[in-house]
Structure 1
């Protein structure tokens, strides 16, 4: 069974919840799924004063361990429609892996959150995907076979490029069951494709 890494950065816990659902979906398929966080770049005092969720259980990721996985699913919140600085800083350190082609042919996927429905979800997903492609990875999204992303009876995240959630401007909105279902679907699909590529 494939080894799947869910690598994320979560300021307020929304991305953490999606990451846990993605890992659960991969495990439903039978994969070994691990959660890791990108390191915080904000001083701890500033993070505390700003209400960051600093009690997250997932260990801090190292660049060196990335090549140990068959699939890597990366998630972070949007910053002006692009990848957040913490995740960008972490991924900027993968040059050695890129130079060796260490991630070539592995499966990559993306997920994100925004404050509003039109706050840059798809551009943020694409900014993550750009990194995956540069690293030689095979990109998997969230296809329309997950019918939940077609819902029009509720506000919901999700796109064919990856699972998403909408947090609201004050951050009080939590991922809905539909959004979490999309995340689980994506995790399972990534695990399935990683297994097929390995066979």
Structure 2
């Protein structure tokens, strides 16, 4: 049984919903799944003024060293000007020891994201996360085109071959759709299946 970590940062709850869906998909493939969030680094005044969502069912991850305990790590974060937000970057920046020791080499990695608009930097944000995972020596699993939900243009939806995604609109009013959540589940399942094969 593969052990999978879904690690995320979410300001308004969109990525948190996607994290739950990724975890659901991984569990459907028989994985043992933990969902953890990275610490909030924005000042409390900013958190309150921006009305960040602070009530969550998921605990913070204890330390970056915990990453080495998993067969697969799926990282979710919203975009900040076409890249991952500082909260996630700050956490991953602490992983130098894991990189140096090769503790994550051969593990499976993936990413998912959200943006305000359809062209708001989903793919560049995913690549900013995946670049870290590749430097750690991880095997990347994206959202393959076996998930047909990401095809077509009849409705607004997320989904890229590099990872599941959703759109929040500029005011955060749009919630992840069934298509978006389906993509997250599909990717989670694929990641868990790949991790089980590599671990076995």
Measured in 2, the distance between the counterparts of 1:45 and 1:80 equals 22
Q: Is 1:99 the counterpart of 2:97 in the alignment?
A: no
Measured in 1, the distance between the counterparts of 2:185 and 2:24 equals 6
1:166 alignment partner in structure 2: 167
> What SS class does the counterpart of residue 6 from structure 2 fall into?
strand
2:153 alignment partner in structure 1: 152
Instruction: State how many pairs are aligned.
Output: 199
Runs ≥4 residues deviating over 3 A: none
* Residue 50 (structure 1) shift: 1.1
* Residue 184 (structure 1) shift: 0.2
Unaligned 5+ segments in structure 1 are none
1:57 alignment partner in structure 2: 57
Measured in 1, the distance between the counterparts of 2:152 and 2:11 equals 27
| 1:152-182 CA-partner distances (Å, limit 9, x unpaired) | 2100000000000000011000000010000
2:28 alignment partner in structure 1: 28
Unaligned 5+ segments in structure 2 are none
Q: Is 1:88 the counterpart of 2:92 in the alignment?
A: no
Measured in 2, the distance between the counterparts of 1:95 and 1:50 equals 32
Of 41-50 and 66-75, deviating more is 41-50
Using structure 2 for the length normalisation, give the TM-score: 0.98
Of 25-34 and 43-52, deviating more is 43-52
Measured in 1, the distance between the counterparts of 2:28 and 2:137 equals 27
> What SS class does the counterpart of residue 192 from structure 2 fall into?
helix
Compute the RMSD of aligned alpha carbons.
Answer: 0.7
1:69 alignment partner in structure 2: 70
* Residue 75 (structure 1) shift: 0.7
* Residue 46 (structure 1) shift: 2.2
Measured in 1, the distance between the counterparts of 2:22 and 2:80 equals 22
> What SS class does the counterpart of residue 79 from structure 1 fall into?
coil
2:138 alignment partner in structure 1: 137
Measured in 2, the distance between the counterparts of 1:46 and 1:115 equals 19
